[in-house]
């Protein structure tokens, strides 16, 4: 089975407003509501490529229901932990320039995360694949990433990890199957500016030495 985890999903409200002006009334000419979050995006891509998967993470309130229904309409199985509050709605304003406002999202309590861990302890099997992508939810301890990484390592599950900096490096001792830092993120990890392909290869190999099995 393939699982995706999105700790802090969002609805992306994409609003098109020609010549938007601050401090006055503007009217949109187009609005779209899109279920978002890196793990959720991965679930959609996998399903459209023909790979069944289960989307997991945390959802809350009416906006959480929207995301769950959008995924189920794509034929994606969902098993989110329902939490208090409202799943965040991010504004993507398209005008002469593009402006984004990202919300914090609902608070994820320790008990909420414990329920997600319990779900994976009961369901993960040797040979499964877990995609963990994006940043931590509001109020979450960053150790959540290492908890998931260790659980996958213990159970013989392939972990595909898409996150940055310390969140990534602290998971490397648990041998994630694939990590995918871009060259900016790769430079941030080692405190350098990446300028050549040779540097990319050299620092990617350093990540393998630290525990990553494959660096994309």
Instruction: Identify whether 148 is part of a domain.
Output: yes
Instruction: Identify whether 215 is part of a domain.
Output: no
- Report the domain count for the chain: 1
79-109 per-position pLDDT tens digit = 999 999 999 999 999 999 999 999 999 999 9
Which residue did the predictor score with more confidence, 128 or 167? 128
Instruction: Identify whether 214 is part of a domain.
Output: no
Q: Is the pLDDT of residue 60 over 90?
A: yes
Instruction: Identify whether 22 is part of a domain.
Output: yes
CATH code where residue 51 lies: 3.40.1190.20
Sheet with 10-16: strands ordered across: 30-36, 10-16, 88-94, 98-101
122-155 per-position pLDDT tens digit = 999 999 999 999 888 889 988 999 999 999 999 9
Label residue 182 by pLDDT band (50, 70, 90). confident
Instruction: Identify whether 49 is part of a domain.
Output: yes
Please give the model's pTM, rounded to 2 decimal places: 0.91
Residue 204 domain boundaries: 2-209
Label residue 7 by pLDDT band (50, 70, 90). very high
Can you name the residues that pair with 204 across neighbouring β-strands? none
Instruction: Identify whether 161 is part of a domain.
Output: yes
Structure tokens at 169: 């490096």
Instruction: Identify whether 134 is part of a domain.
Output: yes
Q: Find where tokens 């190999």 sit.
A: 205
Q: What is the pLDDT of residue 187?
A: 85
Which three-class secondary structure string do you get for the chain? CEEEEECCCEEEEEEECCCCCCCCCCCCCEEEEEEECHHHHHHHHHHHCCCCCEEEEEECHHHHHHHHHHHHHCCCEECCEECCCCCEEEEEEECCCEEEECCCCCECCHHHHHHHHHHHHHHCCCCCEEEEECCCCECCCCHHHHHHHHHHHHHCCEEEEECCHHHHHCCHHHCCCEECCCHHHHHHHHCCCCCCHHHHHHHHHHHHHCCCCCEC
Percent of the chain with pLDDT over 70: 100
């Amino acid at each position: 089975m393939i699982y995706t985890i999105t700790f802090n999903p969002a609805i992306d409200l994409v609003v098109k407003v020609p010549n938007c002006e601050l401090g006055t009334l503007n009217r949109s000419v187009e609005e779209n509501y899109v279920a978002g979050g890196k793990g959720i995006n991965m679930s959609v891509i996998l399903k459209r490529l023909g790979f069944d998967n289960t989307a997991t993470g945390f959802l809350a309130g009416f906006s959480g229901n929207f995301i769950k229904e959008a995924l189920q309409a794509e034929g994606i199985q969902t098993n989110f932990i329902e939490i208090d509050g409202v799943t965040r709605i991010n504004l993507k304003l398209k005008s002469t320039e593009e402006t984004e406002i990202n919300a914090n999202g609902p608070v994820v309590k320790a008990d909420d995360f414990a329920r997600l861990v319990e779900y994976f302890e009961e369901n993960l099997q040797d040979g499964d694949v877990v995609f963990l992508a994006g940043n931590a939810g509001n109020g979450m301890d960053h150790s959540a990433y290492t908890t998931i990484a260790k659980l996958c390592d213990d159970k013989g599950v392939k972990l595909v990890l898409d996150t940055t900096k310390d969140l990534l490096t602290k998971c490397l001792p648990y041998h994630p199957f694939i990590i995918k830092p871009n060259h900016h993120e790769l430079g941030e990890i080692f405190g350098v500016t990446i300028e050549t392909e040779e540097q990319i290869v050299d620092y990617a190999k350093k990540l393998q030495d630290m525990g990553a099995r494959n660096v994309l």
